[in-house]
Structure 1
Amino acid sequence: MMNTTSSWRCICVPGPVIVGAGPSGLATAACLKERGVPSVVLERSNCIASLWQLKTYDRLRLHLPKQFCELPLMGFPTDFPTYPTKQQFVDYLEEYARKFDIEPRFNETVSGAEYDTTLGFWRVKSVGIKGKGMEYVCRWLVVATGENAEAVVPEMEGKGEFGGDVRHTSLYKSGEEFRGKRVLVVGCGNSGMEVCLDLCNHNARPSLVVRDTVHVLPREMLGRSTFGLSMWLLKWLPIRFVDRLLLIISWLMLGDTARFGLERPRLGPLELKNLSGKTPVLDVGTLANIKSGDIKVCPSIKRLKRFAVEFVDGKTESFDAIILATGYKSNVPSWLKEREMFSEKDGYPRRPFPNGWKGGNGLYAVGFTKRGLLGTSMDAKRIAEDIDRCWKHEAKHHLAFSRSPLLQQPSP
């Protein structure tokens, strides 16, 4: 059903509205489609998986083996490598959307969503490119905007004084444009480490700001992926024992990372991941460059100066550019008018994994598990099963109502 005026349209959606056409939104739409439940997917960008297509660097690959990154109902092509490239992953997602006939409504930015207690439905408002407003009225709302909706750009004293290029990794593509330059990378997660390696490979001179403790693990151990080995060991052993084993093997393979300015947290990598969501760094060659001195490790920044940075230890060094590998955050509180399921502080579900996927009044969350694509697939399956159950129950209710004698035409 559709209401139309000259300036806005109101559409009544029979199934759920899914906000976000990244892997989380696509997975949920596919699982619903498989059960015969239609959905509408809204996407603010002009393509699916906009983070992957528009805001990632060229050398990016999946950090985990492909079998741990598959979306439900469709595996990766057999000829893909163990760690697919950025473009291969995008190709996989586009084929996934084609296979399940998912056609998102692109260039529609959701400006607000609120549950109407009088109607018993969600009202989702979006704005198009030309400012044209749309309102979708639906029984179920799936939040699939994920953990990486908005770039985190920290405040730095003297930023306006620096004079050089300061950009977030979402705007970084390749080290080619920084060839020969002194570049400071802020943040020592997987992205920060890889950007440093990419800069080295393009003959730039990178330095890395390490503001916190970090676990650095080899990407592979004992001939298997570190992640796959960890998952296998956890079937048989306690998490703390597995952590101890991982750290012993890492020490044998990588040495004592603290010697190079990379202090390890007190908690083991898996326990820390479970408690805080902080992911260990899987080394793909950066550590060797740190050991050789091609990448210099620096402490936290105190302030920026004219083409220079003063650190908290009092030292000042010159730089031509700064890359902020400071991550992303959820943007849910900016548009979803709901306080029970989602925290207003960080935009994540209040209930921890694995119970954060379902809220009240037909509200769902997918892709907020801090467990990557594996967590996304688990959420998508649960959501589709739950909505399908409601869908069938309501269909039976409507059928019984339509067959009621009260609605039957009397005989002539």
Structure 2
Amino acid sequence: MTTAAGDGGGGCPTTNPVNPTSSVTVIPGPIIVGAGPSGLAVAASLRLLSVPCIILESSDGIANLWRHRSYDCLSLHLPKQFCQLPHHPFPSHFPTYPSKSDFLDYLHGYAARFAIRPLFRCAATEARFDATDSLWRVAVVRRRPEGEEESAEFVSPWLVVATGENAEPVVPEMKGMEAFKGEMMHSSEFRNGADYAGKRVLVVGCGNSGMEMCLDLCKHAAAPFLSVRSGAHVLPREMLGISTFGLAMKLLKWLPVRLVDKILLLSARIAIGDTGKYGLMRPKIGPLELKNATGKTPVLDVGAFPLIKNGSINVVPEVESLTRNGAKFADGEMAFDSVIFATGYRSNVPLWLKASSLSLSLSLSPSDCDFFSEDGKPKIPFPDGWKGENGLYCVGFTGRGLLGASADAEKVALHIAGRWKQLAEPLISH
């Protein structure tokens, strides 16, 4: 079996058509685009069902987001039992909250256990359903180690989109960016605070990444300033001796979301105090309700908030504009040596997944996709967004992390296996 990979950019942000003279390979099982955790989970689940598949991954290895676009101090925010992939738990000796290195070791062990061998440096540039033949045609550009590129096409009745919600960094357009003379970067480029000792660093974005980078900058004797545009729910990572997430999951079995939110916020107030006193105003609706409504994840604090309370991390308002030497806020200007945008990621699916040939006859533009919205997320809400029409599936787009991706991966594999038993033999014979 030849397999492939998941979250973190399996597709390519180009839409060049495949060379008409390129090779065409018929795959007797599904094509998976993306070799992150989601893609690996689908491939492993298919493996156990004896369904062959292929994974296309644009980078040079599995879990590109974790390997090349995450800071060194990153660890899982949830206990390991909520983050393990199907059919293979974390080793018992791993810590409750595995580090970046631990998680990568786990993923490589996972791929080895299920003999998952993605096609690396193989970027999907266009995927389209051919209604005439009832097949998905995926055009790719494959980069050889020596730098040469070649075009190819893979064909299958099934396509699994596993590039995830975090494929492309998002850097907001901000007035004055061209004037700022200091260093600017997205959080995907930040590794650690070692080079920032003694420097004033503005971190734009108050999510888990922004808070944790500020914590790391403090540890390296930098002076971080956290810019908060809107409110944020900051919760301790653990409450009452168990993980906050685990506590919430237990309570949700018996209580409605709004009541669970009230319990969490009361417990957080007792544990860490009033975050509003330090510039971190809480949104009007609770953390779980907000997550369900908007996808915005609450901050699970791993040590940054005490440093905000003692003034080591300074909370500042939304940036009005950057200036030559720093930034302008509603209440004045401040000087900064560097600006880091902890402003998240977006899906790249609309750049390469196109409307089917049938749908194009219904006046959709070539860039439209039947199943995904313009922001690259399934139009069908959770929990039914894993399956589209014409053999299209997606994993890793639930907004519910690895737990949601694992559940969808098993659903996808089981559904494909049922169809594969009916259709595989004619394809193999062909």
**How many residue pairs align between the two structures?**
395
Identify if the C-alpha distance between structure 1 residues 396 and 57 changes in structure 2 by more than 3 Å, giving closer, same or farther: closer
Partner of 1:123: 137
AA aligned to 2:384 is N
Query: Of the candidates 414, 421, 429, which is equivalent to residue 385 of structure 1?
Result: 414
| 8 Å Cα contact 1:168/1:323 also seen in 2 | yes
Measured in 1, the distance between the counterparts of 2:104 and 2:289 equals 31
Partner of 1:316: 333
Query: Of the candidates 358, 369, 383, which is equivalent to residue 387 of structure 2?
Result: 358
Partner of 1:407: none
Q: Does residue 1:349 correspond to 2:378, yes or no?
A: yes
Q: Secondary structure at the match of 1:293?
A: coil
1:6-405 to structure 2, matched below 5 A, reads: 8-129=22-143, 130-311=148-329, 313-338=330-355, 339-344=369-374, 346-394=375-423
Measured in 2, the distance between the counterparts of 1:136 and 1:127 equals 11
Q: Secondary structure at the match of 2:128?
A: strand
Cα drift, residue 37 of structure 1? 0.3
Measured in 1, the distance between the counterparts of 2:425 and 2:311 equals 69
The CA deviation string for residues 259-307 of structure 1, in whole angstroms up to 9 with x for no partner, is: 1111111111111111111100001111111111111111111111112
Q: Secondary structure at the match of 2:213?
A: helix
Q: Secondary structure at the match of 1:10?
A: strand
Cα drift, residue 398 of structure 1? 8.8
| 8 Å Cα contact 1:30/1:100 also seen in 2 | yes
| 8 Å Cα contact 1:15/1:140 also seen in 2 | yes
Cα drift, residue 397 of structure 1? 8.2
| 8 Å Cα contact 1:7/1:132 also seen in 2 | no
Measured in 1, the distance between the counterparts of 2:77 and 2:335 equals 32
Cα drift, residue 109 of structure 1? 1.1
Measured in 2, the distance between the counterparts of 1:235 and 1:117 equals 44
Consecutive aligned runs of 4 or more in structure 1 exceeding 6 Å deviation = 396-399
Q: TM-score, normalised by structure 1?
A: 0.94
Identify if the C-alpha distance between structure 1 residues 295 and 398 changes in structure 2 by more than 3 Å, giving closer, same or farther: closer
AA aligned to 1:320 is D
Q: CA RMSD in A?
A: 1.7
Identify if the C-alpha distance between structure 1 residues 134 and 397 changes in structure 2 by more than 3 Å, giving closer, same or farther: closer
Measured in 2, the distance between the counterparts of 1:41 and 1:258 equals 46
Q: Secondary structure at the match of 1:364?
A: strand
Identity of matched residues, %: 55
Name the larger-Rg structure.
1
Q: TM-score, normalised by structure 2?
A: 0.90
| Structure 1 runs not aligned, ≥5 long | 403-412
Identify if the C-alpha distance between structure 1 residues 397 and 38 changes in structure 2 by more than 3 Å, giving closer, same or farther: closer
| Structure 2 runs not aligned, ≥5 long | 1-18, 356-368
Measured in 1, the distance between the counterparts of 2:267 and 2:324 equals 44
